[in-house]
């Protein structure tokens, strides 16, 4: 499989190492510090693109791939207001576009656990949920895409909650009971920790996912790249994991 890597930072380099270890070939590496550019890419030499960049760059990167019939996998977070436009372009071009806020198999099982727990907790309003996510200091967006996925799944399951807000931006004039608070912490080189907590007057219920390295995210992206061959449409981790 011939892979175009868009974004050659720590994640891109980890993806490259895993892909090479699985006998794949890296056709191009697009980054401000590499020699390859979009202008010198030959789409017929690319089977799939894996995109991990920055929120301001992701939409244009994905658009390039879709317009050049390159299946594209993106894990960049913080730009999702533009996602519907790119999904429409994918359908128009009969292309393949796979987005996930997190490619870790463990995290996606954690998403399922979060949905199940939230479905149980909607009958117990005495428990107030909140989220905390911790990442390395280089992460640009807050809250993380993973935290947003967790929050939106909780909101979908618990009708009493109307919206989520970052703790430091919370509007304290609102009814606190209707707001799901998210605390974002940036420190050190932490790959990612997500905590979902339900607090009552008598006890707490907590579920946690802690990543030990980028390996899980990168391996998941390469496994999706292998899986997406021959597929069309707008796809996600539920499709891949058959959840």
**Distance set, CA 86 to CA 27, 43, 233 (Å):** 24, 19, 11
Catalytic-residue membership of 135: yes
Q: Which residues pair with 180 in a beta bridge?
A: 164
CA distance 117 to 131: 14
Instruction: For residue 139, indicate whether it is catalytic.
Output: yes
Q: Catalytic pick from 135, 170, 173, 209? A: 135
d(CA 142, CA 133): 9
The angle, 0 to 180 degrees and rounded to 10, between the axes of the packed helices 83-93 and 58-67 is: 10
Neighbours of 6 (CB within 10 A): 26
Q: Single out the catalytic residue among 139, 170, 172, 212.
A: 139
Is 113:196 a contact under the CB 8 Å cutoff?
A: no
Residues that are catalytic: 135, 139
């Amino acid at each position: 499989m011939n892979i175009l890597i868009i974004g050659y930072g720590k994640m891109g380099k980890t993806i490259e190492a895993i892909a090479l270890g699985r006998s794949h070939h890296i056709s191009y590496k697009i980054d401000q510090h590499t020699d390859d550019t979009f202008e010198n890419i030959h789409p017929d030499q690319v089977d799939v693109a894996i995109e991990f960049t920055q929120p301001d760059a992701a939409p244009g990167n994905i658009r390039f791939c879709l317009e050049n019939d390159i299946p594209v996998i993106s894990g960049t977070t913080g730009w999702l207001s533009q996602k519907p436009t790119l999904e429409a372009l994918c359908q128009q071009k009969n292309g393949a576009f796979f987005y996930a806020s997190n490619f870790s198999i463990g995290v996606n099982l954690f998403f399922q656990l979060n949905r199940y727990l939230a479905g149980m907790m909607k009958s117990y309003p005495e428990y107030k949920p909140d989220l905390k996510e911790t990442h390395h200091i280089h992460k640009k967006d807050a809250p993380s895409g993973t935290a947003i996925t967790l929050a939106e799944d909780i909101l979908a399951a618990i009708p009493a909650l109307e919206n989520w807000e970052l703790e430091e931006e919370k509007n304290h004039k609102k009814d606190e009971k209707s707001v799901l608070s998210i605390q974002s912490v940036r420190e050190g080189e932490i790959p990612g920790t997500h905590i979902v907590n339900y607090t009552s007057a008598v006890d707490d219920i907590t579920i946690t996912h802690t990543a030990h390295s980028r390996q899980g995210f990168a391996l998941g992206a390469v496994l999706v790249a292998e899986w997406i061959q021959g597929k069309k449409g707008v796809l996600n981790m539920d499709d891949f994991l058959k959840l």
